[in-house]
Amino acid sequence: MRMTGISLIEHLDTLSNCPSGPALAGAGVPSPDVLSFLARIEGADPNAPGLSEDDIDAGWGHYQFTAASLTVQSTLTSSEAVGDTITALRLVTAAIKTCKVAREMSRRHHISPTSFLSDMYLDRVVKTLWELVKDIPIWSRVVPQPKVKPH
C-alpha cells in the first residue's frame, strides 16, 4: 500500500494544481452517498455511549465503513462520484484518523491486537481511489502505475 498511497497523494496534489482545478470529472461535486459516507467516518465518536464490542479497539472503523450499505465499494464507484481532489484527500485523512483512534482505544484499554480492522479499510480506500484517479491525465499525460516490489 505504501507506494500506491504515495502515488495517490502525489497524483491528487498534481491534479489539484491543474488548470481545470480540483474537479476529478464532470462538475467536481461529490455524490450524496460519498458525502454521507465521509460524514459518518469523519464524525465518528470513540466516546459515544453504547458502542458495540465489535466497534471498539481493534474493530474501530467497522461501523463507519459498513453501516447503511455505504461502503468503500458501494460509494467510491467512479471519479465522478468522488467529485474532487479535496474529497479524495478527506477520505484518506478520515481513514488514517480511524486507524489512529483504533490504536489509541486499544492502548487505553491495555489491549495489544495483532491487527486492526481500520488498516484494512485504509488500504481499501487508498487502492480504490488510486484505481479511480490513476488514469486521469495531467496536462495530457497518464501517470503510470507504481511499481510494487514483490514480497
Interior angle at CA 104, CA 116 and CA 123, nearest 5: 35
C-alpha cell at 59: 474493530
Mean pLDDT of the chain: 85
- Cα of first residue to Cα of last residue in the chain, in angstroms, is 12
pLDDT tens-digit profile, the chain (151 residues): 456 677 777 877 777 766 555 567 666 889 999 999 999 999 999 999 999 888 999 999 999 999 999 999 999 999 899 988 889 999 999 999 999 999 999 999 999 999 999 999 999 999 999 888 877 766 544 445 555 555 5
Longest dimension (CA), the chain: 52
Question: What is the pLDDT, as a whole number, of residue 39?
Answer: 97
Report the predicted TM-score, pTM, of the whole model to 2 decimal places.
Answer: 0.82
**Cell for 70?**
455505504
Element (H, E) at 132: helix 117-133
Pick from 2, 7, 1, 31: nearest CA to 133: 7
Looking at residue 140, its pLDDT comes to 46
Cα angle, residue 57 at apex, residues 55 and 63 outer, rounded to 5° = 20
